[in-house]
Amino acid sequence: MHQIEEILQKMTLAEKARLCTGATHWKTVAMPQYGVPSLVMADGTSGLRLQQGSEDKEENDLYENVMFFSFDSEEALARTIPSTCYPAGSALACSWNPELAREVGAAIAEECKAQGVGMLLGPGMNLRRHPLAGRGFEYYSEDPALSGEMAAGMVEGIQSGGVAACIKHFACNNADYKRTWIDSVVEPRALHEIYLAGFERAVRKARPCAVMGAYNKVNGVQACESEELLTHILREQWGFDGLVMSDWVAVKNSKEAFRAGLNFQMPPSKSCVDVLVAGVEDGSIPAERLDESCRQILKLVLHYSKEGKERPQVDWQAHHQLARKAAAQCAVLLKNDGVLPLGPGVKKVAVLGNLAKKPQFNGTGCAAINARCPDIPFDELAALAAPGCQLQFVPGYTADYRTDPALLAEAAKVAAEAEVALVFAGAFLPPEDDDFNRKTMALEPATEALVEAVAAVQPNTVVLLYNGESVAMPWIDRVAGVLDLWFSGEGSGRAAAEIVWGLQNPSGRLPVTLPKRLEDTPAYLNFPGAGDSHFYCEGIYAGYRYYDKKRVEPLYPFGYGLSYTDFAYSEPRLSTRELALPGRVCFSCQVENTGSMAGAEVVQLYLRDRCSKLPRPERELKAFCRVELAPGEKKRVELWLDSRDFCYYDPACGWVADSGEYLLQVGPHSRDIRLEERLQLVSDRAAPFAMTTDTHYTDLLENPTARRVFYDYLVEKGLLLPEQIGPALDEHFKVIFWGMAQHLDGATGDRFTPAMAEELTEKINAALAAER
């Protein structure tokens, strides 16, 4: 700290302004005169994406920048340094295992250090609001608690390895249409409870070094220029103490951005430097703002720069094994009519679809990894097959995913002659475009045609899916099994083979609801926005909160996933049945593996609030835990809730919880509650009641203090007799739909004057204040 202050004192205004934007697209400005090195940063969310030599390249040739603007063209990928491709966010979240995210994060940090990278631009952690969002595959879940926990695990892992993490894209970056100017219009309650809550959890729990402001606007203000988001919420409310940086070219007005609390604008911008110098000189940007930005940059750079540091050797074998382990935990077995796992008795298996030989386990854009060592599903299936089992491969569709009738017919023939058909199908992202959202939930048509053709001739058809976001499964009733591999990285081929042959027990659980139809999704009517606005009309009812409230039957519910074994839940226990806030409560129960194969269960705790003043979802995920159990093994699982878990966001006054009864529901997914316990909450954070002359009687009379002062006053003024007061009078008052002053004015024949209304209101508010 001392060192930073010393440097700051020596820096000129021009130097300070220069430090607040990059030296190149991927590097901060070095200041050797002060002993300040530069820091290299790189994408991305499921591994390291670093283009050869890009750190030092000045990208100022317009023609080249336009012509070669691509992250995942073959040319771009060829320039990307090979690294381990771990599961994309949407896949990793299926593990419901923050500890796994921690391991993956630490491994990515090793790969960063080996390349001299000091900050990773990830993880991405926006909420998955809609299945067609182009970058949904990078993000974790439709639920903020799960998103926040996974992101916290990833951040802790990356930073434990000595590399800075940067959570992104803050906030409400939930669609990729008109990416940099769409206005996400979100009501305050949904903003805090749903869209910010995951970020808040990750910030409080894992203390990421940096937060990246999003491209979009939030409620009319560019995210990177929003003082509300960058200063009031992030720093003041959540206590964030790191660097606030922009997404690449997300700042439209540098002056507004730095005034709002941005510290670092990327990529390099000369105009940003000029604006900062002029702004400090003319007083429109407080000098302290600029100092604070430099302080944050220096803190990060001095701690995390890898310049001149020894570069570790990466144990690529170990990283590949981790990628396999992660992929295995991410695969979700959605359907199994008993066909899986394939036993040693199976002698003839058809493996269909080009994806079995050329898997698409990786996302695109700035999350595109040049995978070092992809496992090929077909090869892994063959390597693990029981002796004497014959595997026959047919591409089923062309290498560029087109239907070829001859390939289709051949696949159907081979499938019909086999005992089991494994069909590889998938859904990929549209080509880079200014509207990067997916256009449909359907699989690539040629892969879907293959599923249909095979299912028509082979009852033991198992579909293996590669997809970054949810897909439609119109063929679900015609197949015997579905294993969703998601974009689970370079180990997905091995993971798939191990699960198919029963060497691994699938344990992935859905971090989103899979809808039956796109039309059933919560944001269907508004996604991806109209004109320049994107209204989040479903409010707090995102994901399962919507399906549950509207009683919409999903294809597969939030939290769902099958196993090859069974788990029994028993002996629920609450650490207390009456909780006074602030405080914590523990729900514990026994979970037993009652089957014959070792496996992992994800125990999920949902809270149902029965007493809130504002409407609440049917249930909300508050805690979860992945537990591994040998056959017959039993473990007691503990899930903790703290004060905040009981709260909802009241737009009038912030986080509140009401006293009353709550249900703690535990089970293997959101629609399968096995255990339920009641808890009485005594809250210290109920919404404060404030009286106005226009307050309605229901609100007034339900507050005991307000009620007492109100009746005392009316008696004192001779408007009521004491014996008239009681529950019957309360109920009649509550039927009246005018506010207090207007009603009493008419109902007392003008004996209750406006001055009395003011006086009474003041008395009530004084009595309420005295209580606090």
Which residues participate in catalysis according to the annotation?
Answer: 247
**C-beta of 180 vs 533, nearer to ligand BGC:** 180
Window 328-367: residues binding ligand BGC (CB under 6 A): 366
Q: Measure Cα distances from 133 to 173, 559, 642 in Å.
A: 9, 20, 33
Q: Does 130 bind ligand BGC (CB under 6 A)?
A: no
Collect all residues with Cβ–Cβ distance below 8 Å to 716 and sequence separation of at least 6.
none
**C-beta of 80 vs 296, nearer to ligand BGC:** 80
CB 372 within 8 A of CB 85: yes
Please say whether the dihedral angle defined by the alpha carbons of residues 637, 642, 647 and 649, taken in this order, is positive or negative: negative
Task: Specify the pairing of strand 217-218 against strand 221-222.
Answer: antiparallel
Window 15-44: residues binding ligand BGC (CB under 6 A): 43
Please say whether the dihedral angle defined by the alpha carbons of residues 575, 579, 580 and 585, taken in this order, is positive or negative: positive
**C-beta of 247 vs 469, nearer to ligand BGC:** 247
Q: Does 247 bind ligand BGC (CB under 6 A)?
A: yes
Q: Does 167 bind ligand BGC (CB under 6 A)?
A: no
Report how many residues bind ligand BGC under the rule CB under 6 A: 6
Q: Which two tokens stand for residue 450?
A: 């293959």
Q: Does 211 bind ligand BGC (CB under 6 A)?
A: no
Query: Least Å distance between CB 80 and ligand BGC?
Result: 12
Window 698-717: residues binding ligand BGC (CB under 6 A): none
**C-beta of 138 vs 548, nearer to ligand BGC:** 138
Query: Least Å distance between CB 215 and ligand BGC?
Result: 6
The string of DSSP codes covering 630-656 is -TT-EEEEEEEEEGGGG-EEETTTEEE
Query: Least Å distance between CB 369 and ligand BGC?
Result: 13
Q: Does 248 bind ligand BGC (CB under 6 A)?
A: yes
Q: Does 168 bind ligand BGC (CB under 6 A)?
A: yes
**C-beta of 40 vs 591, nearer to ligand BGC:** 40
Q: Does 295 bind ligand BGC (CB under 6 A)?
A: no
Residue 209 CA to residue 616 CA, distance in Å, equals 34
**C-beta of 247 vs 601, nearer to ligand BGC:** 247
Residue 357 CA to residue 376 CA, distance in Å, equals 6
The 41-80 contact track toward ligand BGC, x by CB under 6 A, reads --x-------------------------------------
Instruction: With H, G, I as helix, E, B as strand and everything else as coil, classify residue 212.
Output: strand
Q: Does 243 bind ligand BGC (CB under 6 A)?
A: no
The string of DSSP codes covering 548-580 is HHTTPPPSB-TT--B-SS-EEEEEEEES-SEEE
Q: Does 121 bind ligand BGC (CB under 6 A)?
A: yes
CB 105 within 8 A of CB 327: no
End-to-end alpha carbon distance in the chain: 40
Residue 498 CA to residue 562 CA, distance in Å, equals 15
Total number of residues shown for the chain: 772
Query: Least Å distance between CB 357 and ligand BGC?
Result: 30
CB 247 within 8 A of CB 214: yes
Query: Least Å distance between CB 26 and ligand BGC?
Result: 8
**C-beta of 31 vs 125, nearer to ligand BGC:** 125
Query: Least Å distance between CB 321 and ligand BGC?
Result: 28
Which of these, 737, 736, 741, 733, lies nearest to 759 by C-alpha position?
741
Query: Least Å distance between CB 428 and ligand BGC?
Result: 19
* Interface contacts to ligand BGC, rule CB under 6 A: 43, 121, 168, 247-248, 366
